[in-house]
Chains A and B, each alone.
Chain A
Amino acid sequence: MANRAPVRTNNSALIAMIADEDTITGFLLAGVGNVDLRRKTNYLIVDSSLMAHVAAVVNTDFSPDEVVLETTVKQIEDAFKEFTTREDIAIVLISQYVANMIRFLVDSYNKPIPAILEIPSKDHPYDPAHDSVLSRVKYLFSAESVAGDRR
Chain B
Amino acid sequence: MVSGENSEIQSSDKIVLELMDSMDSYLLFMNSLSSSLREGWLELASARHSMGASRISSALFDLKSHSAATTLQLNHQDAGPKSEESHFSLCKWASSESPKSCSEEAKFEEDKLLQKKSNSPKVLNQDGSSNSEVQEEVSEAPEATESPCTVEDQARKERLKSLSMFGVLVCPKLRAAQSSFETALETLVEVANKRADLLNAYDQMREKKESTTK
Return chain B residues, CB-CB under 8 Å to A119. Answer: 33, 37, 188
The CA of A39 and the CA of B63, in the complex, are separated in Å by: 7
Interface pick from B2-10, B85-93, B116-124, B144-152: B85-93
Query: A120–B196 contact, CB under 8 A?
Result: no
Query: A29–B58 contact, CB under 8 A?
Result: no
Query: B162–A26 contact, CB under 8 A?
Result: no
Query: B88–A134 contact, CB under 8 A?
Result: no
The CA of A31 and the CA of B66, in the complex, are separated in Å by: 11
Query: A26–B68 contact, CB under 8 A?
Result: no
Q: Say what secondary structure dominates the interface of chain A.
A: mixed
Known contacts A8-B67, A117-B192, A120-B37: A27-B97 contact under CB 8 Å = no
Partner of B68, one of A24, A34, A112, A140: A34
B52 in contact (CB, < 8 A) = no
Partner of B76, one of A11, A31, A140: A11
Return chain A residues, CB-CB under 8 Å to B87. Answer: 112-113
What is the interface of chain A, defined by CB distance below 8 A to chain B?
A: 1-9, 11-15, 21-37, 39, 41-42, 45, 90-91, 93, 112-113, 115, 117, 119-120, 122, 125-126, 128, 133-134, 136-137, 140, 144, 147
Known interface pairs A6-B66, A26-B178, A28-B162; 7 further A-B residue pairs with C-beta atoms within 8 A, sorted by A's residue number: A1-B66, A9-B99, A12-B99, A15-B72, A33-B66, A34-B66, A112-B199
